[in-house]
Structure 1
Amino acid sequence: MLRSELISDIAYRIICLKRLHPIRVGVSGITSSGKTTFANELMEELRSRKMDVIRTSIDNFHNPRVIRYRQGKESAIGYYEDAHDYNSFKHKLLIPLGPGGNLQYQENSFDLTKDVYVNPELKIANIDTIFIIDGTFLFKKDLCDLFDFKIFVETDFELARKRGAKREELAFGSFEKAEEMFLKRYHVASKLYLAQHSPHLIADVVINNNELDNPFFV
């Protein structure tokens, strides 16, 4: 179906949710599945409908370099286990927005460029705010119940690898080196995520994103 129609459909489903706290929408998928772009487009659609939307990511809650790379810069297990500070992610963002939460939240806890923790001033959410949060490993078993609506963006590994390598070509020095990193680190970790947590089975909607102009519900 047309991408705009699919995004409109999902926006309608989210707006119809009834909660006594902000709605926490998670957008997950393997690395370079297109989840970040999809989350941005969903944000724009909801804002066009006059909804109050906050857009953030688990990538604002990284661990410092000494933890992220303690198992090696190319380690898939290291990426899977050590990339993100899940404790801060839960207690500074997701839990305060959920049932019984005080609505006081942080959008980030770490400055990746400077490799330092940050402690920004707390913000206060409105109970009708919609938070759209993307991340590769969002629906791990100890996180999935902290989302009110879960979207899994499904893309074939080969397609995602080529898209990701093209995007990261400059960062790694060449397309070939970027693709190698996806093969060794990012997508091995993504396969562990799929095998251990089955995020596509617990999501509210699964979207096949192989054809960017014509995604469809699975």
Structure 2
Amino acid sequence: MDQGLTARGASSRARLLDQVADAIPSPKPGGAHRIAVDGVDGAGKTVFADELAHVLRERGRQVVRASVDDFHQCREGSGRLFRRAIHDVQTDLPIDDPLEVVPAESILIVDGIFLHRDELVHNWDFSIFLAVDFEVSVARMAVRDGGSADVEDRPRVRISWSTTTM
């Protein structure tokens, strides 16, 4: 869980994970479900997906985890075939993992940014979008990536232009 969670926050997080796990239906016999966990950079998609997978496994559900971070430019088709990764984000090198089949009646949880795009959204049987405040996102990215947690840091400053004022 997020290292900054208090005991009360941790119990709220556990309740949220239980509620989401309760909402995920069992796959049809012989089938599998594809679950999307989406959100802005630093929303906590990977951590949430890992925690959700843990909760589902504790309930006896079979779960496969993958992350879009490992699939830059992936063009795999839908269905039960998948690769765990094709790109190593740390080394920026391709990975030649073999094609795998999601076991029957299991749940594949994929986290990543842009999973709700029009060209991808039809691939998911169940979908989760994590919404967090910008300050939370920036702080998490600073810890993860070693950057600045200052939301006023110049590369993060966003300017909105309005056509009515131009």
SS at 1:158's partner residue?
A: helix
Q: Could you tell me how far 1:124 is from its partner in structure 2?
A: 2.0
In structure 1, the residue matched to 2:115 is 138
In structure 2, what residue type is equivalent to 1:112? V
**1:105 equivalent in alignment to 2:58:** no
Contact 1:168/1:175, CA 8 A, preserved across alignment = no
Q: 4+ runs of 1 displaced by more than 6 Å? A: none
Q: 1:167 to 1:146 in 2, by over 3 A?
A: same
Contact 2:39/2:130, CA 8 A, preserved across alignment = yes
In structure 1, the residue matched to 2:137 is 160
In structure 2, what residue type is equivalent to 1:153? L
Count of matched residue positions in the alignment of Structure 1 and Structure 2: 148
Instruction: Tell me the distance in 1 between the aligned counterparts of 2:112 and 2:29.
Output: 23
| Matched-pair identity in % | 31
In structure 1, the residue matched to 2:162 is none
In structure 1, what residue type is equivalent to 2:136? L
Instruction: Tell me the distance in 2 between the aligned counterparts of 1:138 and 1:44.
Output: 21
Q: Could you tell me how far 1:154 is from its partner in structure 2?
A: 0.5
Instruction: Tell me the distance in 1 between the aligned counterparts of 2:21 and 2:136.
Output: 26
Cα RMSD, aligned residues only: 2.5
In structure 1, what residue type is equivalent to 2:114? F
In structure 1, the residue matched to 2:53 is 43
Q: Could you tell me how far 1:152 is from its partner in structure 2?
A: 0.5
TM-score (norm 2): 0.76
Instruction: Tell me the distance in 2 between the aligned counterparts of 1:136 and 1:47.
Output: 24
In structure 2, the residue matched to 1:54 is 64
SS at 2:22's partner residue?
A: helix
In structure 2, the residue matched to 1:9 is 19
TM-score (norm 1): 0.60
SS at 1:38's partner residue?
A: helix
SS at 1:27's partner residue?
A: strand
Larger % of helix: which?
A: 1
Unaligned 5+ residue runs, structure 1? 63-84, 98-102, 189-218
Q: 1:31 to 1:113 in 2, by over 3 A?
A: closer
Q: 1:159 to 1:112 in 2, by over 3 A?
A: closer
Instruction: Tell me the distance in 1 between the aligned counterparts of 2:137 and 2:29.
Output: 35
Moved more, 106-115 or 5-14: 106-115
Instruction: Tell me the distance in 1 between the aligned counterparts of 2:52 and 2:127.
Output: 13
Instruction: Tell me the distance in 1 between the aligned counterparts of 2:22 and 2:83.
Output: 27
Q: 1:163 to 1:110 in 2, by over 3 A?
A: closer
Instruction: Tell me the distance in 2 between the aligned counterparts of 1:10 and 1:19.
Output: 21
In structure 2, what residue type is equivalent to 1:142? E
